[in-house]
Amino acid sequence: MKGYRQKESLFRVLKIALLLIIVVSVSYPTPRTTQAAQKDIIRTPHYLFLFIGDGMGAAQVKLSSALLESGHTLAMTSLPVLGMATTHSAERLITDSGAAATALATGSKTTIGTISMAGNHLDTLRTVAEMAKAKRMKIGIVSSVGIDDATPACFYAHNASRANLYDIAVQMASSGFDYFGGGYSLGNFPENQIKSKTFRGDITTLMQSAHYLLARNNKELNTIKPGTRCWAYSDYDSKGALSFAMDRRNGGKIELAEFTREGIRLLDNPKGFFMMVEGGKIDWACHANDAAAVAHDVEAFDKAIEEALAFYHRHPRETLIVVTADHECGGLSLGNAANGYETRFDLLRHQKISQQRFAEKVHTWKQQGTITFPMALDSVKVYFGLENVDAGDRNALQEAYLTTMKSDAPGTKGNDAFSPAVTSLLNRRAAIGWSSNAHTAVPVQVFAIGRGAEAFRGFYDNTDIAKKIIQIAGLKPSGK
């Protein structure tokens, strides 16, 4: 018995000693491994990308990939992590870009049309871009629409209304951010300058006084040196935005992907950066129910994502890329009642210009007053590939054409019934359905890759996207 107890206690001692050896060897591996492991634990991503496809629901993404040349997949759908997010505002199930971008930028719900302020319009909400700046990271804001439009504005400005464009643009100059690229400042248009009660002068002058170099074409942008504050824009339309991707055929213009690539070049530094890139024209194409324009602008947005992915492959451990949308727009469906189970998306490839560009032509015809309906129908064939129009459709188009030519007020939208009628016919033939000219409450996809990306799996709210970025990147929601 005694011998057995002795043996047992000896066995216990040996067991404890063995355990200690295991614990010690696990806790104290070779110095090199320890350093690498610690680095991995400590290191948070310090290159942060947030891509926002305005109005880009799952159907918009699928439509674009269906129209791309075979064998090419969208970069965003190749990202390994997929989630979904709800988009409602504080007061309404169907949001707008102000409330939605506030959620994505700050992690808080707010009311429609509000720019990174609480719904009471008294409390300012701190944005992830401001938090990243407080961490001495560099900040870039890129959009294919006006740089003071709701989505980009929500990252650098705070205002009770997205309509106060000039006041929002002024905050771009005082933001201290490093790079603004894409569309022009809509707030700097004279009609918006005079609306401001606190007009302080031209936005370009304010930006230059705040040490921003202006780059108005590829050449100028290429020569800006990293570390220099820069505001880049090239061509823009009457709403301060880049033209639709499918209408951009002339060289020399800066594309969304180039704004992104050059932004990365200017922002890259050891302390890291935060960059928000918006594909804003996807939404505009959806409002117009212009399916081909949607597909091309999703593709242009995806090319910008490719630039971030190229950067990610150089810094995989320190980069986080998140791609999402602020809301769906148009209630796009792939398939319609007229075609049942058949789809003819290939018909959209015959569309050569956007509905908006076509509407500009219709507007010119109206001013000229010499274009007959048969001539207009010829143009429909040229620009939309619509042939063999049967009697019923022909009558509907003719009625829309005559109404448009007769309407008194000038303008290309609102008074133009013909251009939407043309795209509507193309949609019907191609088996594209639209339920709305406004936004919808359909949840949107979230794609992610890089350090911390796993957190973006699952189904959550758009406010959680900002909260996840804040947590993963170790940003401080309040104070400096």
Contact 101, 110 (CB under 8 A): no
3-state SS of 409-449?
CCCCCCCCCHHHHHHHHHHHHHCEECCCCCEECCCEEEEEE
Q: From residue 190 to residue 229, what is the string marking binding to Zn ion with x (rule CB under 5 A)?
A: ----------------------------------------
* Shortest distance in whole angstroms from residue 280 CB to Zn ion: 9
List beta partners, residue 461. 86
Within 13 Å of residue 17, how many CA atoms lie on the same side as its CB? 6
Contact 265, 275 (CB under 8 A): no
- Spatial distance between the Cα atoms of 272 and 56, rounded to a whole number of angstroms: 28
Nearer to Zn ion (CB atom), residue 307 or residue 326: 326
* Shortest distance in whole angstroms from residue 143 CB to Zn ion: 13
Give the contacts of 430 (CB within 8 A, at least 6 positions apart). Answer: 291, 343, 344, 345, 346, 347, 348
Touching Zn ion, residues 252-291 (CB under 5 A):
283
Nearer to Zn ion (CB atom), residue 82 or residue 163: 163
End-to-end C-alpha distance for the chain, whole angstroms: 70
Number of shown-chain residues binding Zn ion (CB under 5 A): 1
* Shortest distance in whole angstroms from residue 287 CB to Zn ion: 6
Nearer to Zn ion (CB atom), residue 283 or residue 416: 283
* Shortest distance in whole angstroms from residue 108 CB to Zn ion: 21
Nearer to Zn ion (CB atom), residue 224 or residue 294: 294
Q: For residue 238, what is the DSSP state?
A: T
* Shortest distance in whole angstroms from residue 63 CB to Zn ion: 17
Contact 141, 76 (CB under 8 A): no
- Spatial distance between the Cα atoms of 98 and 140, rounded to a whole number of angstroms: 19
* Shortest distance in whole angstroms from residue 445 CB to Zn ion: 17
Nearer to Zn ion (CB atom), residue 98 or residue 450: 98
Contact 329, 437 (CB under 8 A): no
- Spatial distance between the Cα atoms of 62 and 345, rounded to a whole number of angstroms: 11
* Shortest distance in whole angstroms from residue 451 CB to Zn ion: 32
* Shortest distance in whole angstroms from residue 26 CB to Zn ion: 55
* Shortest distance in whole angstroms from residue 300 CB to Zn ion: 17
Nearest residue to Zn ion, scored by beta-carbon proximity = 283
Nearer to Zn ion (CB atom), residue 86 or residue 87: 87
328 binds Zn ion (CB under 5 A): no
Nearer to Zn ion (CB atom), residue 65 or residue 436: 436
Look at residue 126 and give its three-state secondary structure. coil
239-to-149, 271, 285 alpha-carbon distances in Å: 10, 36, 14
Nearer to Zn ion (CB atom), residue 258 or residue 283: 283
Q: From residue 100 to residue 139, what is the string marking binding to Zn ion with x (rule CB under 5 A)?
A: ----------------------------------------
Q: From residue 43 to residue 62, what is the string marking binding to Zn ion with x (rule CB under 5 A)?
A: --------------------
* Shortest distance in whole angstroms from residue 150 CB to Zn ion: 9
List beta partners, residue 322. 50, 448
Q: Give per-residue burial for 382-403: e unless 16+ CB within 10 Å, then b.
A: ebbbbeebeeebeeebbebbee
341-to-62, 140, 344, 345, 431 alpha-carbon distances in Å: 16, 44, 10, 13, 9
Nearer to Zn ion (CB atom), residue 215 or residue 277: 277
Q: Which residue has the tokens 């309040």?
A: 478
Nearer to Zn ion (CB atom), residue 283 or residue 290: 283
Contact 52, 462 (CB under 8 A): no
* Shortest distance in whole angstroms from residue 163 CB to Zn ion: 14
Nearer to Zn ion (CB atom), residue 244 or residue 384: 244
Interface positions with Zn ion (CB under 5 A): 283
